[in-house]
Structure 1
Amino acid sequence: MAPPLSLDIWCLILKNFKNDRLTLHSCALVNRVLVTHAVMLLWSDPFDENLSTRQVIALVNTLVSCLPNVSKPHLIRYGIILPTTPQPHFNYPSFIKVLKLDQLSRGIARWITRYATVEVNAPFPGDPLIVFCTHLSAEILRVIFVNCFLNKIAIKDSPWISVLQDITPWAYVRCVQRISELHIARVDYNSRITNIIDLHNLSYLIKIWASRCHEIRSLYIRVGEESQLFHDFLPKLVKAQDQLIRVHFSTGNNALLIDKLLTALQDNTSLEEMEIFHTNLTNTFFSTLSTCKMLKKLMLIGCKQHDQPFNKKLNSLPIIQIFCKNNVIHPENLHLVFSAASSTLTTLILDTAPLDILSTLSPRCRQLRHLVLGINSEPYDSLELLQDLQNLEYLAFCHVSKRFVSSYHEDFYARLGPSLPIFLQHLHTEYVATPDDVRIFLNGCIAPIAILGLNQPCGISRFHLVAACEFVRRKKFPLKKLQYDGSNKDYIVKSSNLPSALLDFLKEFLKFEVEALHHPFDADRWPYPR
């Protein structure tokens, strides 16, 4: 009989099921050893966005059962009478590594409406629900901060963020010293949503993070145009991190703030990913880019740059992936970026394909494997310049017009190579490419072609990825299913014999497409029909 597995091996096995809640629940029923480690993994990131309302309420109910007795008189004073619950078997708050304040806030509001007994006549000012949730949030967060060390904090328009300032400072500071991932997001751009977060309270928290947190590796900052209070603290927060690997900046029209954030990055020697969404850029961006010696991925979405061309030359950059969409950036500056990354670039997503950029790609980007081009306004003969890209594995054309469909010919594809799959994306009614046009196009091709995001002639109310691909008549491309599963927000690509590298690219590209589309700053000016 084989000897039993050691505890270390069991822990290693369970870690592989970290994101599989169903399997972890099953493991928790095996024995006492497994239940402890399964519960620890389940509670490391308890408030997942994909949880149902029932599951979120159950989590809050468990946290309420962990409140100490000293919390109950304080809550009763504000009219909240907690239900009687059995003593929990574990110290659940001590297992939490990821704290998402917006999810916790919504869960507390739902829990109060279902379980708590509320005395409406209690002496307090303001909206009763806000008051109840504020004080219950403070008690729950106090327990979390005293018991755990967080790896990630996400603040996204939680209406009760002010309670963090009232919690014992030593407990909060101790808890956040080890965080490696920080998300700060506000959605009050264009004054659509106001007074959700007290800016002074948020700036107070950022000040604490800047002075106490020095191990952040992933930093996500999205603030509205009213963010003058953050001009001092956010750059200090960025400057204080010497292990940053990934940054995401969105500052709307606040060009001064993005300049300060980018300037704070100039001494960083570890940055590998930079994402900038819907921001007014200046030439400070290109100056900072020239100092990023480890940068592997660059994503620019909806950015505007009104400066004159950058008058310096960019040194060689080790960028592997570039995603550009809906930008208004001087073409000469784009040339600088492409030229600097040409020797290492393997993935390029570009929503416009000027002829001169194609001529730059052809002789230099020998390693390019994945190419997506928007070609609705270009002469298609220029695409013959792509025939020198011998390593291409994926070629996609976005915003395809009827003119492209009707002018496509076999000779062009034959020069590119018969094994290269070509994808057409986002065939829209404004470009008058009807299903009949596409059908003729498919039947006349010798190449395997799949259609992603094909809209009906009448249009659709919102963007979606079609849950199937079409195949050509002569040679079928072995891509069986391509879909976006909204239930678990995962992108699924199933195939019989596609290379793993191509599958990984497809998954990442689809994430980019949907995340960029649904980014709130871009909701009104994204060119797809809604």
Structure 2
Amino acid sequence: MTCQLPSDCLNEILEYLEEDRHTLYSCLLVNRLWCEISVRILWRNIWNCEISLQRRYQILNTLISCLSNESKELLRKNEMSILTPTPKLPLFNYAAFCKFLSINYISETVSNVLEDELLSSRKHLVTEEIIKMFANQITSLRKLFYYNNYIDFSFPYFPGLKDLSELYCSSNLSPNFFYQLSQICHNLHTLSIQFNHYVTPNELKQLISLQKNLEVLVLSAYDDVSWEDVIPALKNNSNTITKLYLYGDSSNLPFSFISLLSNLQEFIFSFLDGSYFEDFEQLQHVNFPNLQTLKFPYQYPRPEYITKFLENNGKNLKMLCIGDSNKALNLSIANFCPNLKRLFKIFSNNELDILKTIFNNCQYLESITIWCGKYYLSEKEVFETVANYSPINFCELKIDNIESHSDISSEDLETFFISWKNRIPKRILSLIIIKDLYNNLDDYEENMKIIEKYENLGVIRFSTISLEEENKEEY
């Protein structure tokens, strides 16, 4: 006699596999119940930009097969013979399972897959019919990506938008889109706006001001475009926003509005160009009692501004990232940030004592990311300092070789592992190499033999990640 799990229990179990798509594909083959639950999870978010062209073709073919008879007839009337003949209807209403919708990715998929088959106007029609299908079938949409207005996306027929919690959009979309959305959507949790037009529509400002529980705000502005127009609309959300991410290329963008965000917990200030950021001067004296994560991965305001900011807010910080080297600023981390758990900071080749001071003063530090190279600390110096000065909770070291090849010898590497093995209390060290243009310590056979030896002894856990993966994780 066979015993089968109740569907609600099985559903809860398979939910844990949401990120493990390979295992979910295997679950499709168990039986009808397993297949139904796995398909629903797999189709929740199919817009993975890293999937192959063949996979995109399969997705598009499935979506086209799910179109209504009216849509299929419309495509036929426009002489589009792109449907794969199938004797049976699709097993599931796949579009109804989607909770994440990317308007632009649908358009890109149609354009890429049908590149040599259809004229631009006909590709546009295919895209519109697929979007209409999603709009009619999705009853509760969580996340919407919509950046370019070459698709006229209106939605009187889209009831699922009432439950939208995350919106990623650009400021040059149709004002009618923002107006209609503002009439039904007042509970956005996350709002990301890419500013690419000099005038911000009033309808977008209204949408922002009507939000009741906005927690995550992402503002991006490049090519001398500004987010200044929307700042007054943020007033109603000044107490609810806990995460603020700013991206741009100009030091003239306004930052003083940040002082209104009294419950800010996470702040990323990511600018590839610009200097001084004088508007930040007003923020150096502001106290953010809940701030735990602070990141300046590229350009940052004057060091004296950041130092004063850390003096007022460093005590509660758990994560700090500052992508440049400044001796006074590095010392301020040791003086004002005693509760850090994760740190990314660049140290020049004459700042080894500052690293030691940070280890001594930041006794809760668990992870550090360090650049090594000709103008920075050497790997040998970093290893010796980590072994002898890092606090008892320390368990992760990330190294990125910048502008030089790895100069660590196999003897120095083994000495470090022996020192770590003898530390009390014992903790497994996660050693992560960020793969850049230069040879890293894992590119040498003797080093890898030693790494494997101490992995087998349970002393270290070794891995590598690409620079792109690291940037995605940190910034």
TM-score normalized with structure 2 length: 0.79
Distance change in 2, residues 1:49/1:474 (3 Å): closer
5 Å matches for 1:354-369?
A: 354-369=326-341
Partner residue of 2:266?
Answer: 297
Unaligned runs of 5+ in 2: 421-428
Of 473, 477, 481, which residue of structure 1 is paired with 2:462? 481
Quick one: which amino acid aligns to residue 21 of structure 1? R
Which secondary structure does the structure 2 equivalent of 1:310 belong to?
helix
- Give how far 1:6 is off: 1.9
Partner residue of 2:236?
Answer: 267
Partner residue of 1:58?
Answer: 58
Of 381, 394, 398, which residue of structure 1 is paired with 2:367? 394
Contact 1:358 1:385 in 2 (8 A): no
C-alpha separation in 1, matches of 2:79 and 2:109: 19
2:176 maps to 1:176: no
Contact 1:395 1:421 in 2 (8 A): no
- Give how far 1:251 is off: 0.6
Partner residue of 2:426?
Answer: none
2:39 maps to 1:39: yes
C-alpha separation in 1, matches of 2:202 and 2:221: 14
Distance change in 2, residues 1:395/1:36 (3 Å): closer
2:469 maps to 1:511: no
Partner residue of 1:435?
Answer: 406
C-alpha separation in 1, matches of 2:184 and 2:200: 17
C-alpha separation in 1, matches of 2:283 and 2:292: 24
C-alpha separation in 2, matches of 1:33 and 1:66: 21
5 Å matches for 1:280-429?
A: 280=250, 284-293=254-263, 295-302=264-271, 304=274, 305-307=277-279, 309-310=281-282, 313-376=285-348, 379-386=351-358, 387-398=360-371, 400-402=373-375, 404-405=377-378, 408=381, 416-417=389-390, 420=394, 423=397, 425-429=399-403
Of 209, 216, 232, which residue of structure 2 is paired with 1:246? 216
Contact 2:295 2:320 in 1 (8 A): yes
Contact 1:254 1:280 in 2 (8 A): yes
Deviation string, structure 1 residues 177-208 (Cα, Å, up to 9, x no partner) = 2111112259xxxxxxxxxxxx4x54442333
Distance change in 2, residues 1:18/1:271 (3 Å): same
Distance change in 2, residues 1:137/1:283 (3 Å): closer
Deviation string, structure 1 residues 431-475 (Cα, Å, up to 9, x no partner) = xx553477797588686595734656xx59xxx997999779999
- Give how far 1:175 is off: 3.1
5 Å matches for 1:51-200?
A: 51-83=51-83, 84-85=85-86, 86-112=88-114, 129-149=119-139, 150-157=141-148, 160-162=150-152, 164-165=153-154, 169-172=155-158, 174-184=159-169, 199=172
C-alpha separation in 2, matches of 1:370 and 1:53: 38
Distance change in 2, residues 1:425/1:438 (3 Å): farther
C-alpha separation in 1, matches of 2:248 and 2:224: 10
Quick one: which amino acid aligns to residue 180 of structure 1? S
Distance change in 2, residues 1:67/1:415 (3 Å): closer
TM-score normalized with structure 1 length: 0.72
C-alpha separation in 2, matches of 1:296 and 1:45: 28
C-alpha separation in 2, matches of 1:242 and 1:467: 52
Contact 1:354 1:378 in 2 (8 A): no
Distance change in 2, residues 1:88/1:444 (3 Å): closer
- Give how far 1:362 is off: 2.5
Which secondary structure does the structure 2 equivalent of 1:343 belong to?
helix
Contact 1:467 1:482 in 2 (8 A): no
C-alpha separation in 2, matches of 1:314 and 1:373: 23
Distance change in 2, residues 1:376/1:76 (3 Å): same
C-alpha separation in 2, matches of 1:472 and 1:56: 40
* Percent identity for Structure 1 against Structure 2: 19
Contact 1:309 1:332 in 2 (8 A): no
Contact 2:283 2:309 in 1 (8 A): no
Deviation string, structure 1 residues 274-294 (Cα, Å, up to 9, x no partner) = 21122435685244244231x
C-alpha separation in 2, matches of 1:465 and 1:435: 6
Quick one: which amino acid aligns to residue 511 of structure 1? K
Quick one: which amino acid aligns to residue 244 of structure 1? L
Higher mean displacement: 269-278 or 231-240: 231-240
- Give how far 1:27 is off: 2.7
Quick one: which amino acid aligns to residue 366 of structure 1? P
C-alpha separation in 2, matches of 1:72 and 1:275: 43
Distance change in 2, residues 1:66/1:392 (3 Å): closer
C-alpha separation in 1, matches of 2:244 and 2:113: 38
C-alpha separation in 2, matches of 1:413 and 1:479: 13
Partner residue of 2:424?
Answer: none
Partner residue of 1:495?
Answer: none
Distance change in 2, residues 1:56/1:417 (3 Å): closer
Partner residue of 2:11?
Answer: 11
C-alpha separation in 1, matches of 2:68 and 2:387: 73
2:14 maps to 1:23: no
- Give how far 1:135 is off: 0.7
Which secondary structure does the structure 2 equivalent of 1:171 belong to?
coil
Which secondary structure does the structure 1 equivalent of 2:305 belong to?
helix
Which secondary structure does the structure 1 equivalent of 2:316 belong to?
coil
Question: RMSD over aligned Cα, in angstroms?
Answer: 4.0
Distance change in 2, residues 1:153/1:406 (3 Å): closer
Contact 2:280 2:301 in 1 (8 A): no
C-alpha separation in 2, matches of 1:389 and 1:311: 25
Which secondary structure does the structure 2 equivalent of 1:210 belong to?
helix
Deviation string, structure 1 residues 187-235 (Cα, Å, up to 9, x no partner) = xxxxxxxxxxxx4x544423333343212212222233xx124353443
Which secondary structure does the structure 2 equivalent of 1:480 belong to?
strand
C-alpha separation in 2, matches of 1:65 and 1:406: 57
C-alpha separation in 1, matches of 2:260 and 2:441: 36
